[in-house]
Amino acid sequence: MSGRRRKILLAPVTVGPTKPLTPSHLRVLLAMDVLHRATATFADVTHVYRPVAHAGSRQIAGFWEYLDRRHPRLSFAERSEEEIGELYREYHAGERIPYAKLEPVVRRAEAGWVHPATARVLEIWEDHYRTLGLRDPLFSRTPTELMPADELLDLLVRKDLCVDGRRFGAPVYLDATAAGLPLRALVGADGQANYLLSTLRELVPQLPGQDHVVLVHDPEIRADYRTIAHVLTALGTEVSRIELSRVPLDGVAAGTRYGGWRGYTLGALASAHGGGPAFALAMRLYLIAGLARITTESFTARQLRRWVGRAGRLVAEHGGRRATPAVGAGLSALTGRQPYADPYRVIATLLGRDPVVPHGDLLDVVLGPAERAQALQVA
C-alpha cells in the first residue's frame, strides 16, 4: 500500500434531527470534524454522515407519526429546536403503537419524505454548523443510494453473518457469534427494521476500495457497534472503533429524550458566550480534550468560559503564523499504529508547549483556515 494515500471511511453514529444539539451530540460532531480534517492531510477520507439516515426507524418515523396523529394542526416553520425537542420527549413518554400502523410513515420516509418538524430542525442545525465552523453545513443532502434491504440480507446470509427467519414469520438476526457476541435482531417478526439495517445498507456499498473504516459511537451501543465491526471485518475491511461517552449535565448522562438539556443546547451556549470563532475553538478544546473519552464530569458554563479564554489566547499567539506544506507528514507521525489522526492527540498537541506540528498548522486543521483568519481579526 506504500506509494499511495490510504482511503479511510469515517462512520460515526448519527444524531437524529428530532431534538436540540447538546454537548453529548457536539462532542461527536466536533471530534469527527477534527478527525476528518487532520486525517485528510495525509489520506483520502470519505465521511458518512446523514442525519436522516435512520428516518425509517421507530425513533424517527415513530416521532413523525406521533406528531401527525397528536398534533395534526401544528405548524413547525417558526418552532425552536427546544420546542420540537419537548415534543420528542413527550413522544417517548407516550404509548408505543404497533408497527402495522407505523409502516406507512416508514415507507414514506424510505422514499425520501422528511417531516416538517425535522426539516425545521435541519434548518436550525445549518446555522449551528456554521457557528461551529463544521465542514458540511448542508449535511451532504445529496441522496445516497442505499443497498436494497433484500440484497444486503442475501449477502449476509451467504457470508454466514445473518439468520433469516422471514419465511417462517420469525425475526432476522445479525450473527456475530463467531466473535463471542449474541445474536442481534435486525428485522422483527412484524417486519420492522432497526437502525442497524439502515447503517449497513449505507456502509456496505461503500466498502469497495476503502482501506479502513472508523466507527464512532457511545458506550451504550457498544455491543451493536462491535457487531457492526464484526460484519464489516468479515466482508474484508479493516475496522477501528472509537467510543465517546455522553456528557453529563448536572450530574446526569441521559439521552435527550429524557429532557434536562434546557440551558445546555448549542443555541443557548453560543448566546451566553458570544459565539464567534473563539467559541467554536473552545467547544473543540473543551469537549475533545477537556473531558475524558469516557467521562463522569459534568459540562459547566464556568469551564466553557475558561476554554473560551484559552482559545482566544491560542489564536492571538499563533493564529498569524502561516501554515506549512508539511502538515500532513507531521500529523501522520502522530497516528501511531492507527491509519487515522486521533482527535484527542491532535487537540492535546495543539495545547502542548512544544508541539511536533506547529501551532499555526494545527489551528488550520482544528478550526479551518477561514475560521482561523476570522478569529485572528476578532482577536
Q: Is the pLDDT of residue 372 over 60?
A: no
Cα–Cα distances (Å) from 205 to 145, 192, 199, 296, 330, in that order, read 9, 22, 11, 37, 32
| Nearest C-alpha neighbor of 28 from the set 52, 50, 12, 4 | 12
Q: Give residue 1's pLDDT.
A: 46
Find out whether 278 and 378 touch, Cβ atoms under 8 Å: yes
Answer for the pair 285, 309: CB distance below 8 angstroms, yes or no: no
The amino acid at residue 121 is V
C-alpha 339/C-alpha 6 separation (Å) is 8
* Res. 148 pLDDT band, cuts 50 70 90: very high
The reply to whether 248 falls in a domain is: no
Inter-residue contact 225 to 241 (CB < 8 Å): yes
Considering the domain architecture, whether residues 128 and 201 belong to the same structural domain is answered as: yes
- Whether the CB-CB separation of 356 and 334 falls below 8 Å is answered with yes
Instruction: Give the pLDDT confidence of 162-218 residue by residue, as tens digits.
Output: 999 999 999 999 999 999 999 999 999 999 999 999 999 999 999 999 999 999 999
Q: Give the whole-angstrom CA distance, residue 181 versus residue 201.
A: 21
Q: Residues 129, 193: one domain?
A: yes
- Cell numbers 453529548 correspond to 24
Count CB neighbours of 218 within 10 A: 18
* Residue corresponding to grid cell 482511503: 7
Same domain for 226 and 330, yes or no, is no
**Do 233 and 273 sit in the same domain of this protein?**
no
Residue 302: burial class (beta carbons within 10 Å; 0-12, 13-18, 19+): exposed
The answer to whether residue 253 sits within a structural domain is no
One domain, residues 279 and 236:
no
State how many domains the chain has. Answer: 2
> Average model confidence (pLDDT) for the chain?
90
∠ Cα 140 142 144 (to 5°): 100
In a domain, 251, yes or no: no
- Global confidence as pTM: 0.91
Do residues 44 and 191 both lie within one domain? yes
Predicted local distance difference test score (pLDDT) of residue 33: 94
Same domain for 272 and 219: no
Widest Cα–Cα separation across the chain: 67
3-state secondary structure of 277: helix
Same domain, 44 and 170: yes
Least confident of 34-38, 226-230, 336-340: 336-340
Q: Evaluate whether residue 68 is within a structural domain.
A: yes
- Range with lowest mean pLDDT among 49-58, 144-153, 315-324: 315-324
pLDDT level of residue 370 (50, 70, 90 thresholds)? low
For the segment 340-369, the average pLDDT, to the nearest whole number, is 87
Which of 230, 173, 237, 243 has its CA nearest to residue 209?
A: 237
* pLDDT tens readout for residues 289-306: 999 888 889 999 999 999
Quick check: is 304 in a domain?
Answer: yes
- Residue 287: band (very low, low, confident or very high) from pLDDT cuts 50, 70, 90: very high
Of 194 and 319, the structure prediction assigns the larger pLDDT to: 194
Same domain (yes/no): 53, 159:
yes
Query: What is the rounded average pLDDT of the residues 95-124?
Result: 94
| Residue 369: band (very low, low, confident or very high) from pLDDT cuts 50, 70, 90 | low
Strands 172-174 and 184-187: antiparallel
Residue 263 falls inside a structural domain:
no
Report the pLDDT averaged over residues 9-13: 95
Full residue range of the structural domain in which residue 149 is found: 7-243
Tell me which DSSP letter residue 296 carries: -
**Looking at the predicted structure, is the pLDDT value of residue 341 above 90?**
yes
Same-domain check for residues 275 and 221: no
Residues contacting residue 109 through CB under 8 Å, at least 6 positions apart: 52, 55, 56, 60, 61, 64
